[in-house]
Amino acid sequence: MAWVPEEISQKSKEDFEKTWLETAKLLPKPKIEYPLVKLKVGKPHCIFETAFKLREAFLRIGFDEIVLPVILDDVEIYKQYVNEAPAILDRCYYLAGLLRPDIGISDKKIQEIEKFSPGIEKKIDALQDVLRDYKKGKIEGDDLVEIMCKNLSISDITATRILNEIFPDYLGLNPVPTRLTLRSHMTTAWFGTLAALRYRKPLPIKLFTVDVRFRREQQEDPSHLRAHRGASCVIMDKNVTVETGKVFTEGILSQIGFENFRFVKKEVTAKYYAPNSEYEVFASYPEAIGKIGEIEVANFGLYSPVALSNYDLDIPVLNIGFGVERIAMITYGYEDIREMAYPQFYGEWAISDRDLAAFVQIDKMPSTSDGFELMNLIISKGLEYAMESSPCSFTIFEGNFLGKNIRVEIFEPDENSKLLGPAALNTIMVYDGNILGVPPTKFKGLVEEARERGISTRITYLRAIAALASSKIEEIVMTSNDSITIRVKVAKLPSDINIKIDEIGRRYITSKNKKIDIRGPVFIGIRAETI
């Protein structure tokens, strides 16, 4: 853990500015500087993968991409839905904003400001100008502190303290509602866009967008999100009909794996559509996980001439809409939309055995070519003499090492044993979320299952200890020490055999009630001395 969040949070409440400055020291300094940092390929989110596929499908059949407004006046809803508008607006988020206070600077406030910044009395006019420009909207909120610093020649800490302690009105602001809404239906934005382009683009006008929309749901549940994405398109043309909708809907969905389409006319038509022109689209997706039969995947309709006329539009318009999350749930096999959209909050934490194995590493490694050669020599000679009866000792290297002459021995002093203990040749393997030390011969229970079906890290106890010994021998040669002895008897913890497991791996294993078990009698002894 880089720091203790509870301590930092508490200190910031006592003195934010001081804590803010001091905690900057906790951030790491780069070990590898640009441009030497290497990047790896990231993993995409399935919702954006689906959105991208839909986007490409639209482009392939001749639609132009466009960005639609996200913030719209509620008058647009009334123009499109007429008497149905109140029910639609119930699902919309209205926006609110903070009224910027009109603050004067009294003599008392000037005296208080002087305590923070002596001499600022001469700059009060400049401060008043800044606050006045902020009130008028000439200065944005996120630029206020920066401009105060620049115009008054004060630090950002002083500027923040002036705002928070001298002008508390800035802290007690309440939002004031407006008539602006967040887009809840793509249709809300299509009418104005088509009106703007009616005489600027030749017919047919074919446009699409894949973007977010917002619904004021009472709660988010397995089938509802407050923010979700829609893939929506329009075709404005004199000859567009319901049959056009069927052709283009199939043209989009067939490109991303759907087939066997069925079009069902809705009994109750939304008021912005013409009567009897709104259809739901059902299709099958053969590769869907846990899904059987056909699924509703889209809807389309012809805009009502009444709604179009409210925008001075005199040409028929077809609108087709696809729910991105719904299609993603089908194609990726999700049952809960929250788990799909926000796996960090709702998804089950899952790490494959193969990925978990990557969290297991040898801790201390040699850093020189001589060191690596010695490490491999320790391993090979350990294997060669493994079954020799003890007590025993074998010189495995004598000669120049990093510019000095050294002698390295592998030994076992106890009687009636072997050079290497029974667990020395164990391999660390991952199986069913467990990290286990697995012997090369048959064993019992979970360890045997791991030996047959687990993921090997290719790290043996002998290899990890050989790496530790070689690293330590490098140290004595470089620091002019005379000798060193490394002896590992019984392994209880990964650190006993020079193994480290990343914190994420440890937390995952603990959360799943799995185990890390590398226990075993190792009895590896390595001795080195300068000669």
Q: Give tens-digit pLDDT for 368-417.
A: 999 999 999 999 999 999 999 999 999 999 999 998 999 999 999 999 99
Helix 242-253 to helix 46-60 angle, to the nearest 10 degrees?
130
Closest CA to 52 of 305, 189, 229: 229
Q: Tokens for 399?
A: 């000669």
Between 55 and 103, the more confident residue is 55
For the chain, percent of residues with pLDDT exceeding 90: 63
From the list 379, 453, 458, the residue with the least C-alpha distance to 420 is 379
In degrees and rounded to multiples of 5, residue 102 shows phi and psi of -100, 100
- Predicted pLDDT at 36: 58
Q: Quickly name the fold that domain 47-91+181-341 has.
A: BirA Bifunctional Protein; domain 2 (3.30.930)
Strand, coil or helix: 112:
helix
DSSP 448-471: HHHHHHSEEEEEEHHHHHHHHHHH
* Segment 18-27 mean pLDDT: 87
Q: Which residues pair with 320 in a beta bridge?
A: 233, 300
What pLDDT was estimated at residue 34? 53
Give the pLDDT of residue 525.
Answer: 97
What per-residue confidence (pLDDT) applies to 137?
76
Statement: residue 445 has pLDDT above 90: no
Beta-carbon contacts of 60 under 8 Å, excluding residues fewer than 6 positions away, are 255
**Number of CB atoms found within 10 A of residue 395's CB:** 12
> Parallel, antiparallel, or unpaired: how do β-strands 516-517 and 434-438 relate?
parallel
Q: What is the mean pLDDT of residues 500-509?
A: 96
Alpha-carbon distance of 329 to 289, in angstroms, equals 9
Q: Which of 386, 240, 388 is nearest to 302 (CA)?
A: 240
pLDDT value at residue 279 = 96
- Enumerate the H helices of 389-511 as residue ranges: 445-453, 461-479, 503-511
Distances (CA, A) of 436 to 253, 356, 507: 48, 12, 16
Q: End-to-end distance of the chain based on CA atoms, in angstroms? A: 43
Q: Residue 33: is its pLDDT beyond 70?
A: no
Average pLDDT, the chain: 90
> What's the CA gap between 169 and 173, in Å, rounded?
7
Confidence of residue 253 (pLDDT cuts 50, 70, 90): very high
Q: Where do the domains of the chain lie?
A: 47-91+181-341, 100-172, 355-530
